[in-house]
Structure 1
Amino acid sequence: MFLEKLEIQGFKSFAYKNKLIFSGSISKDKKGLTAIVGPNGSGKSNIADAVRWVLGEQSLKMLRGKKSEDVIFSGSDKKGRLGLAEVSLFLNNAENVAKNKDLDQKNDSDLDKIINTCSEIVITRRVFRNSESEYLINNTRSRLSDIQMLLAKASFGQKTYSVIGQGMVDNFLNSSIADRKDFFDEATGVKQFQIKRDHALNKLELSYDNLQQVEMLLSEIRPRLKSLTRQMEKLKKRTEIEDKLKGSQINYFGYLWQNISQKLNSANKSYLELEKIKLSKEKNLENLNDELNHIRANDNFQKINELQPLIRDLSDQKNIYQKKLAKLEIELETQLESRGQFDLSWLNGKLSELKLELENINLEIESLQKNRSNQEEESLKIELSDIEKELKQSAQIQEEIRHLNKEKEENRNKLTRLEAVLEANINARAGLNFKNLKEKRKNFNLEIENLNKEISELTDKYDKKESRNLSEELRVLQEKIGTLNIELQQINEKIQKAAKSGGKEETINSIVKNFLQKLDKIETISDFKEAKKLLKEAKEIFQEEIKAVLTGESDEDARRIQSLQQEIIELTENRQIINEKISQNNNQRAKIKEEINVVLEKKSRLEWELVTIEQDLKKEDIEKENNLNSDIGSIKQDLRAQAEKLSRLIPQNKSNQLLEKKQIILNKLQTCHFKNSALEEKIRLLNEQREKTATEIEEIKIKIQKGQTKFDTFQIEEEKIKLSEKIANIEKEEAALNNELDDLNQAKEEEKNQMFACQKKIQVLQTELTDYLNNLNNLKIDATRQETRLEDLENNIRNNNLSLNEIESFPEEETIPDLNVLQKNINNYKNQLEQIGGIDEETEKEYANTKERYDFLFKQTDDLDKTIKSLEQIIKELDVKIKERFDKEFKIISEKFNEYFQILFSGGSAKISKVMLEDLENEDKKKEKEISDYIETGLSKAEAEIKLASDEKMRKIKFLKKHNAVGLAGIEIQANPPGKKIQSVTMLSGGERALTAIALICAIISANPAPFVVLDEVDAALDESNSERLAKILDDLSNKSQFIVITHNRASMRRANILYGVTMKNDGVSQIISIKLDEVDINKIAAR
């Protein structure tokens, strides 16, 4: 390897790019010599500085500058400054590549590959004015250490003989023995190994430091890892217990879930079945009501009502005709007796009778007009209006009842949930203090007594309210009965008039009197049951007596009795409605009593639970006792609210009763219309009769006025015959109508029986429906209770962090689990979990991270230990290699130094010797001293030993850095010119020092030749003869190294192969001129 070319641009005085091409290998045995000459100040030494700078020199003092930008061309009067300095060194490496081409280069480093494969190596260094710098190897950016290692492998160096500048020869001799040691490291060729050793030591120090940090981290992590390990063991145990707890809870809650679900499904199934039956019964009831309405809507009643006026009219006409016929017969007899003489007095009597009859007819008409059923119709209309108002109020009441039922259902659900919560709280409060329990029992009993009083007051209040309602109904009924009583008395008077025998009259009076006396006794609710029996007896009595009366001859009385029968039927229907209402009220009361019984049962159950708690529970803290008081207070308030709402309940069937009552009144109204029509017809007939009578009176008056005294007997006979025919026709028509009326009455009786049968069926169905509704309500309450228990169970399941899917999918077991055992296991597991205590959820993650970090750091310690052992082994191997090579090369250099010294001085002697480091103090004594020093600082002996052990490794590194592989402290130079005995080289003259340094440099080059050597005016202090001797030595050494000599000496010029001249013009820029001395006579140039 040799220097082939040097390119300089912007470096110091070389503003422009300049190339210096060197001789290189002139022949097989010659590397060549290049001389650079020029006047002082021309910048020829800048070439040596450029070579030193591109080889990585960091000392600005060696480069004759103060800061990095001083090496950049700073400008002149005619040339501005530059911003960049760049120097490129071209090394020819073809010989080395050819030598190593057959070697295996797979495991070579990058630098080794460059040295062994690149025929040309270009090293470039750039610097900018902002102090940024770049290093390049073959135009690839590199580090300074890479360039240093490359140069060390090629036997280059910044501090060695590769570049020897002005004053360095004298400084070398005047330097300390330690500074000479660095020079000899490069001179002996161990610099590359020293660099590797230094790198290994730095890595070893870093590894020791990292190991110490890792051990510190491990010492910090170990206690935490032990704590986390213990917690993980607890967590593992807790997990096992939680699994067991979960299994027991799944069995416990699963069985309860299945049990409650089965009960709920059974209740829902029963509810649906009863609902279907209820709908069927309701359908049947609707059909019966339709049938009853159809019977009521039958026109037989209307036909009877239509026929009765006709029969009455015919009967009236027949009576009139019969009276007329009787009168005619009397008149005829009188005429026959008086033989045609007219009796004026008879006519006057007849006239008086007719006037009296006319007045009676007028009075009857007025009476009928006054007493006809318009009054009854108006009262019924008023009653109908009142009922409609009651229906509206009933609708409002029904809405309020629905709202109250909804609230009652919500309160019942709430009460059920509170019971479940209370039951759960009772199960959870397993440690109640016995003394506190006694006090609690006393308060609890007091609360129960208060509840009993409230229930009793609620029952009394309800009974009173129900009594008031029934009393109101009885009052309305008694008013009806009073109205009926008045009407019956009127009928009784007419019956007395119509009866032909006193026995019947007394019988009817007795019946009516007894009936009225019995009705007067119905005043309170205690007599109400007897009222039903009395009404039934009254019905039977009236039916029998009315049938007896109907056998009489009075048609008017018969019609009135028929009307009375209709009223009795309506009264019976009212009685049935009241009976139904009483039954519904009884059912409603039974429901409320049942709810009160439920409350009592709850009270009994609370008492039983209190006794159970008193027997089983032992301990409970004050906080749980307060919670129990709060729960009991909530239940008490809910029970009171429930009782208040129950007390405000109104029978739900009042609306239906009012609707039925409205229908009955409408029927009565229609009957009144029929009666009114009949009365109007009777009034019309009476008016006609009155008109006829008046006409007859007028005729009689006319006859009297005319004095007619004779009647035609024949006319009377003829009129008698006509009247007899009319009477016969009327009797036939009356008989036909009576037959038709009998048929209609018979049909009416059949329809009445059918009506009674339908009403009985309806009553039975209504009773059954009431039972079904009660059962449905009970089933709904049971289903709601089960749903509430299921919801509470679901909340309990969620509170225990269980999944509903696991509970719902719980298989049905053939054997019923022991819930007490499961509950005991659950409590036991929970107690164990409480003893273990809570563990942070992040513990497992923290343990995993800590364990992972600990394992990683522990592995790092193994890796660092291996690295440290490997580095220590490398350092040992390098130390052996360095020592062997240094000793070998040092011996050769010492011999060559003496040889070249004798050549230059023509005798004398010189040698170099190693100055070794003193032996280390006894390690044991030193260790004891350090321990005592640590103890003086306040540490114990054990702590001092630990501290010493931690510092021992770092002390070892410091020792290895301080003591090189050779154990060399420095180099001592001894030189004795001929005839002199010098104690120190500092006593030599300037020329002698120069020759001595040159001799040592030549010895080093001879022993370990560098690829090239730059000598900057090292011969400046030599005379002509010594210059010749130096030139001859350089010429001899040129077969080992390439020389670039900056000189003023003609002897060096004469032996140079290439001569470069450096000049500087007025612009302050250095320029280079080259001459190949092989073609020029050097003597001519020297002569000039």
Structure 2
Amino acid sequence: MRLKNLEIKGFKSFADDTVIHFNEAVTGIVGPNGSGKSNIVDAIRWVLGEQKGRELRLEHMVDVIFNGTKKRKEAPLAQVTLTFENTKNLLPLDYHNISISRLLYRSGESEYRLNNVTCRLKDITSLFLDTGVGSDSYAIIALGMVEDILSNKENARRKMFEQAAGISKYKARKRESINKLKATNEDLARIEDLLFEINNNLVELEKQAKRTKKYFEMRDKYKSTGLLLAHISVQRLKEKIQGLNTQIEAEIIKVQDQEVLLHQSEADHEKFKKSHLDQEKNLGDFQRKVNEILDSIRLTESEIQIKEQKKLLIKNQQEHVLKSSMDAKSKIEVLKQDILLIETEIAKTTLEVDKVNAYSSGLGLEYTEIQSRYDGLKIGVDQYYAQKQQLEKQVFDLEKEIAIQLNQYENFDADTNRNKDELEQRTNEFKSIQQEIDDSNKRIQDIQVVIADISKAEEERQATLVTLRSQIDTQTQKIGEINRRKDAKKNEYELLKSMVEKMEGFPESIRFLNQNWRKDVPVLTDLIYTDEKYRSAIELYLESTLNYYVVHSESEAVHAIRLLFSNAKGKANFFILDKFKNEITEPVVIPGCISAYSLIEVDSIYKPLLNYLLKDVYIQEHDSQLEDVIKFPDEVSVISLSGSIVKQKNTISGGSVGLFEGKKLGRKKHLEKLEQDIKVLESEVLDMDRALTYLKNEQKKFDLINKQQELVAARKQESEYLQRLAQISTKQQHFNELKERIELRIQDNTEKQITLRKNQEEKSIDLSKAKSSYQELINSISQSDQVFDKVSLELSQSAAAFNQSKLEVMKWQNTLDNITKDLEYKTRQIDESSRQLDHDLKNLNNQESELVQLDLDLMELKKNLEDRFEFKKNMEADLSSLEQEYYTIRNTISEYEGKIRTAQRNISDIQSMTNSLKDQRSEFNYRIQSSYEKAMIEFNTNIDDFVPDQETEGMEEEQLRDRAMYYKVRLDNYGEINPLALEAYEEMKTRFDKIQEQRLDIQTAQVSLLETIKEIEETATANFLMAFNQVRVHFQDVFRSLFTSDDDCDLILLDENDPLECDIDIVAKPKGKRPKSIHQLSGGEKTLTAIALLFSLYLLKPAPFCIFDEVDAPLDDINIEKFNTIIRKFSSDSQFIIITHNKLTMAEVDVLYGVYMEQQGISNVAAVDFRKYEHDVVLSGMEN
């Protein structure tokens, strides 16, 4: 099988269709970092089914799709196709060319294809199983995986050996078989639990089924009797309804006669009522006219009152307007006088303002002239002071530098003295440090001896604790087992006790007597006890008598029977002990049988009864063929051990044995034995608890003498001593370094002091010159300051006078403005008062005209009011006459209404009687309907369809009623039943049998799986060991070819007893080195070791192709030549695809593909065939 080509589209940085051909033995792939070389390897892993994003350098699988660039939009899907030539039919397909494809869409949908046909990932992994090809096979190796192989990260080393040995399919089958076995065990456990649960439920269901069957029989008898009673009752009710119908028809005729009389009276009543309504309408119209006259009178009176009030209001307003006009005239005269005074004051103030302005202007000219002289003098003074500040700064800086240098000199001198003192002190300290180092070494030796002693004692204590823990676990398991048995016994005891107390499985009569008669009288089933082995057989034989009471005398039995009869609680049977003779007959010995009497346990008082019941009754010792029972003589009764057949004189009975057969016999005795067993188990638990407590106390005692803390404390002390020794050693080293630094510092201080003394002398000369220049400048400044101070005083006085004149101008100007504003205000007040006066005079004229009009309106309204009063008086007289006529007709109508009410009352009485009869008929119909519904609800039968049976057909109604009541009481007192018990019992029994068959099938499958796992392990172990030994030999040969013939290496199984699961260790010892582990080798040696292991695997099982992703990066030039040589050697059997940055490796390949990015973020490839060029081995001399 050969790799033919790789097609990539939309995968990572390969946005465009890219095809890489692998037609040659060795193909190289090169390119700068980040160009997308490794994306080719990722594409091959991905198409082979890699599912881990981490292996593909992804966070999410969808990141394999090309994500776009600034100039290129993202791809909708990623698609990779790998094509093989099936040259050696290594792949189980009848195709020469086989292609596998994987597609991933942005929606997250994924698709695999085999020869362009959609398939599953499992189909692809199965296709390449044990071919050496896979997403995680040893055929694809990256540089980081070399370290993984050597460090055995995630069991990488073992996976490679398993692939080479071809046992992957065996391990896969083993995993599947183990998973199936686990599932089988879980299924078996569930089935066991299910069978246990169903078995418990079957016991209860069988009882419920028998009880339900008896209930249904009584219910059928009650149904036939109840339906017959209902049929008789319905026929009697129908006859009564017929008589009621005749009475109802007679009453209906009486009602019709009364209705004729009622209709005549109602006609006359309607005639007078119509006349009454007309009269009532006329009266209402006349009354309405009278009311309208009254309304108009009230309206006129209201208008007169309103106009009089309005007239009074206008007069009041006139008085107010006259007063306001007089006030306005007086105010106008006062304002005109004020304005004359204000105008005079404005003229005076204007003259003062002009005078003050002229004075202020003169002062301003004088101030400007003095300011000019002041500015000229100030420039000269400022220059002097600037020179002064500069000289002061120069003097200060020189004095500061001299002082600093003097201080530095003194500091260097003091530092030299301190260093000398410190050096002297440190010499004594060094001696004490050396003594402390010696003491620390002695303490470390002593504590190491103590640690060894404590470790030995702790190991002995731990061994004792392990033994004690094992004994405690064993004892705890035993206690748990006994507790489980005890709990099972207790549960059985509680269940059996509940059944005994509730008398479950007994007829109603027995339960009734147990509650209402004597509790000291036993039932036969409670007297007998026998071994569980024989219970089914004895219970089958005594089944008909097990519910018999055992009493001493006949009077006791009669008393019980009378109690049952009086309460209608059924029947009961009794054994009379007095009637049985106290004689015990010895049983006849029959080969193969045991006397049934000899197998039972019973009190001596009841032995005659049991001797009578079980006389000549034998049980077979072993189950045999059913036909064997026939061979016994007729004088004896023989029961098979399982209880499946009973042979008695002249009869044979038998059949299948129910699950609950034998559970009824000797329940009270069994209850006592269970109680004894529980006490024994409790005693055992108590003894074992004491033993467990002793063991735990021993464990606590050894826990208390824990040497671990002492060991930790000793090791901590050792660590402290070692740490202290390291600290002291470091301190000693620091002292030596400090001594050297102090001596160098003293020498440096001396040199610096000499330099400082020289600088101080130079700075002192500069300081003297600066101070002399400063004194000369001070004298010049003193003369200039006298002239400047005189001009400054003149400027200050002139400015003060000028400012005072400006304040005076502002004061007079403000006074003028205030007077002018007052004049404007007074003028506005005169205008407003004049307008108000004109408005008041106009209002007075209007109000006078309105008063005249109001007087005219009042006269007219009063005249109209007198006319309406006269008209009202005439209308009221006519209204009285109409009211008398209205009430006369109304009395006549009342008489006719009395006649109508009498007729209606008569009709109502007759209808009441009719309704009463109809109610009786409805009641009878309802009772009939209720009888039908009751029959349908209670018996699900229509009464009309009922046919009496022969048993009840001739009975009287009273007998039928008593019979129905009897069965009704029995059914009511029967208690709850499960109506589906019969069906559920059969269904559950069938299910129980079916599940038992399933359990047998699962147990068979379990054995088969265990055998399969064992066979797989044996085959896989043999194949693996054979492959391992071959690889081991190949590894040694390849390793020595890459290193030297004297180098040593080996492969070791760390656990030869479990070769399929144990780790595989690599031992590599190049010549001249003895590394303790492979991790101590150099990077190149590690790489060559990993390459040796890989090629030893290829020798065992060559992979169709191998991919090395920058594996040669750690190798030097010589080892690169070795690497290329072995590649060329193996290329005859396998294809090699090498991703590299090494030029020597590039020169060795047949075809070289260069990966580059013409556009940022988009990878392309270009191919070069190196076979066209000659190759010179540049390192041949070095090799020789």
TM-score (ref. length: structure 2): 0.38
Question: Which structure has the bigger radius of gyration?
Answer: 1
TM-score (ref. length: structure 1): 0.41
